[in-house]
Amino acid sequence: ILVRELESKPVIVTHPDENIKDVARKLVENNINHIPVVDEKGVLQGIVTSWDIADAVAKGKTSLRDVMTRKVIIAREDEPVEVVARRIDKYDISGLPIVDSNNKVKGIITAEDISRLVGKKM
Ligand code: SAM
């Protein structure tokens, strides 16, 4: 099974200048934990999770630029899901943006998506 068969599309994204409070609202309203941060062309700039928002509140940070993670672990549509599962384990993360060869964000894949797949097989 390839990533493209499991990915969530379209993905909810945010921009580096978005207000932390608006990002928090997006997480809650969409019942998600990961939001890729993109520029105006949709190119990946970072990732923000509910954990980062909690950290921002704890430290009194208000700018998304200061809390987003810039070195993002990504996945590609033509990769086997198994390889992505190993990457999730290796880096202790739970969601990976899926990008194309131009680094544009196409979707997202999470540990939950993979668990659901394993659950169906058993
Ligand atoms: N274990 C938890 C989980 O799976 O979500 C949290 C630990 S994880 C180390 C928390 C940090 O990882 C956050 O600062 C977040 O921005 C970052 N992060 C989450 N997904 C990421 C990804 N795909 N690439 C790089 N960093 C990521």
Under a CB-based contact definition with an 8 Å cutoff, are residues 92 and 86 in contact? no
β-bridge pairing 95-99 and 105-110: antiparallel
What is the full DSSP assignment across 10-27? SPP-B-TTSBHHHHHHHH
Looking at residue 121, its pLDDT comes to 72
Is the pLDDT at 118 greater than 90, yes or no? no
Under a CB-based contact definition with an 8 Å cutoff, are residues 7 and 108 in contact? yes
Looking at residue 23, its pLDDT comes to 95
Query: pLDDT band at residue 122, thresholds of 50, 70 and 90?
Result: low
Is the pLDDT at 12 greater than 70, yes or no? yes
What is the whole-number distance in angstroms between the Cα of residue 98 and the centre of ligand 1?
15
Helix (H) or strand (E) holding 108: strand 105-110
Tally of CB atoms within 10 A around 31: 6
Under a CB-based contact definition with an 8 Å cutoff, are residues 88 and 111 in contact? yes
What is the whole-number distance in angstroms between the Cα of residue 48 and the centre of ligand 1?
8
Which residue's CA is minimally distant from atom 25 of ligand 1?
A: 72
Domains identified in the chain and CATH numbers: 3-121 (3.10.580.10)
pLDDT tens digits, residue range 43-88?
Answer: 999 999 999 999 999 999 989 999 999 999 999 999 999 999 999 9
User: What are the angstrom distances between the C-alpha of 40 and each of 14, 15, 103, 104?
Assistant: 10, 8, 13, 10
What is the whole-number distance in angstroms between the Cα of residue 93 and the centre of ligand 1?
4
pLDDT tens digits, residue range 13-55?
Answer: 999 999 999 999 999 999 999 999 999 999 999 999 999 999 9
Is the pLDDT at 117 greater than 90, yes or no? no
